[in-house]
Amino acid sequence: MKIEIFGKDYNVSDSLKAITEKKCAKLDRYFGDDENAAVKFIVTLEGDTYTTDMTVVYRSQTYRAEASSDSPFDNIDLVIPRLLGQHRKQKDIWGKSKRGSENVYEEEEAEE
């Protein structure tokens, strides 16, 4: 899993990068088996507000979450659970079976 951290009108500090990579360790359980999974963080500074946009591209699915607050460190704590909730919801949708009962056919005995 590749983690990319970008700053738009903001220089991303080494401590923010380290904390982001540490907190993204949770994502390895869900996206770690695929080497092509890509996580992209974009931190934007607008006035006094930091906006963090997180995008994960995993197989054919794209998950995206965004949070805004006064601290980019707080945004990481908000964005990751939102994204995991999206992944869990998508997994539940694809994992559920269709409504109705299965057709059960009794085998007929062949007369000899």
The model's pLDDT over 7-61, given as tens digits with 9 standing for 90+, comes to 998 899 999 999 998 988 888 887 766 678 889 999 999 999 999 999 998 888 8
The model's pLDDT over 92-109, given as tens digits with 9 standing for 90+, comes to 777 666 666 666 777 777
pLDDT at 32: 67
pLDDT at 43: 94
**Contacts (Cβ under 8 Å, ≥6 apart) of 89:** none
